[in-house]
């Protein structure tokens, strides 16, 4: 019983205090609606605004990210397409340069063909053997090609360069021994003065052994074929002097480099008939 009275008293006191508090704040113009708005509605509105802002930011970020992924994929595809196009253009350019170089090469060969006024047969190089120093051309016995015919080329359409000699011929192809072959021998002369020397191949270069110092040879001198041969016409370029070694008091060795890179030429001329004058 005593406990119930105490509870009632507490409730009454609480209500009185609440009324006093409400009366107090009412005197300052603070209403219940304002309290509800401040304590309940405003926090909820702020929370909703924060959630919406966060959601919008996340949405914008995701949209931007997806757009960047799409743009990135398009850029990658475009870059790949451009690379493919570049490779195609490079291949076409290489092909055009090949046609240009071959056309220039053929023009040079026609130039020396008319200049030398010899019977010649044009041929295309179909095989290169740098190890054994020979090439194979696409003309043979069916075209009137036989062994020991000389093969020439030209860099400028004015001067003929000796490539080698027909070593063997089949019906449709021929094997050409290059002048750098170790089995190759030919008489040559320094184009700047008279004198006959024997030139030999070394596999990648040419050399001459001389036993006289009466005639001076200088670096850069060009050696050509002589009139003594009944196979090679005279004045075909053979090699350029690049080194002079004194082997003894009476002997020296001349090293010559070929005028041509034999493994880059595509077309040659075979001299099918030559009569020594």
Q: Dump pLDDT digits (tens) for 250-260.
A: 788 999 999 98
17, with CB counted inside 10 A (0-12, 13-18, 19+), is exposed
- Which pLDDT band holds residue 98 (cuts at 50, 70, 90)? low
**Quick one: DSSP state of residue 143?**
G
| pLDDT surpassing 80 at residue 116 | no
Span of 20-34, 44-58, 91-105 with lowest mean pLDDT:
20-34
Span of 3-7, 150-154, 232-236 with lowest mean pLDDT:
3-7
| Residues constituting the chain | 277
Q: Are 111 and 157 in contact (CB under 8 A)?
A: yes
Q: What is the pLDDT of residue 3?
A: 66
Helices and strands of the chain, counted as H and E runs:
3, 12
Q: What is the pLDDT of residue 16?
A: 65
Q: What is the pTM of this model?
A: 0.63
For the chain, give the mean pLDDT.
82
Q: What is the pLDDT of residue 36?
A: 62
* Closest to 259 (Cα-Cα) out of 199, 175, 215: 199
pLDDT tens for each residue of 172-220 = 999 999 999 999 999 999 988 878 889 999 998 999 988 766 668 889 9
How far, in Å, CA of 15 to CA of 24, rounded? Answer: 14
Q: What is the pLDDT of residue 99?
A: 62
User: Mean pLDDT throughout 138-143?
Assistant: 95
Beta-bridge partners for 178? 164
Q: What is the pLDDT of residue 113?
A: 74
Better pLDDT: 53 or 164: 164
| pLDDT surpassing 80 at residue 105 | no
Q: What is the pLDDT of residue 74?
A: 76
- Which pLDDT band holds residue 271 (cuts at 50, 70, 90)? very high
Better pLDDT: 172 or 98: 172
Q: What is the pLDDT of residue 35?
A: 62
CATH superfamily of 119-273: Rod shape-determining protein MreC, domain 2 (2.40.10.350)
| pLDDT surpassing 60 at residue 26 | no
User: Mean pLDDT throughout 64-89?
Assistant: 78
Q: What are phi and psi of 35, to 5 degrees?
A: -65, -45
């Amino acid at each position: 019983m005593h406990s119930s009275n105490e509870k009632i008293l507490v409730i009454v006191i609480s209500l009185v205090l609440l009324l006093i508090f409400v009366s107090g704040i009412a005197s300052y113009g603070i209403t219940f609606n304002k309290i509800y708005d401040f304590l309940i509605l405003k926090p909820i509105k702020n929370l909703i605004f924060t959630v919406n802002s966060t959601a919008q930011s996340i949405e914008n970020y995701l949209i931007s990210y997806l757009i960047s992924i799409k743009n990135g994929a398009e850029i990658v595809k475009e870059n790949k397409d451009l690379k493919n196009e570049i490779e195609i253009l490079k291949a076409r350019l290489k092909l055009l340069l090949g046609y240009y170089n071959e056309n220039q090469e053929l023009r040079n060969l026609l130039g020396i063909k008319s200049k030398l006024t010899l019977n010649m047969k044009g041929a295309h190089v179909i095989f290169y053997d740098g190890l054994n120093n020979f090439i194979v051309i696409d003309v043979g016995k069916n075209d009137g090609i036989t062994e020991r015919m000389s093969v020439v080329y030209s860099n400028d359409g004015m001067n003929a360069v000796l490539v080698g000699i027909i070593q063997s011929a089949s019906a449709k192809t021929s094997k050409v021994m290059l002048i750098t072959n170790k089995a190759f021998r030919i008489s040559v002369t320094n184009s700047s003065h008279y004198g006959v020397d024997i030139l030999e191949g070394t596999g990648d270069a040419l050399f001459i052994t001389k036993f006289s110092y009466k005639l001076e040879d200088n670096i850069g001198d060009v050696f050509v074929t002589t009139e003594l041969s009944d196979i090679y016409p005279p004045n075909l370029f053979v090699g350029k002097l690049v080194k002079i070694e004194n082997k003894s008091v009476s002997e020296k060795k001349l090293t010559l480099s070929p005028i041509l890179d034999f493994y880059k030429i595509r077309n040659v001329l075979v001299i099918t008939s030559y009569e020594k004058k």
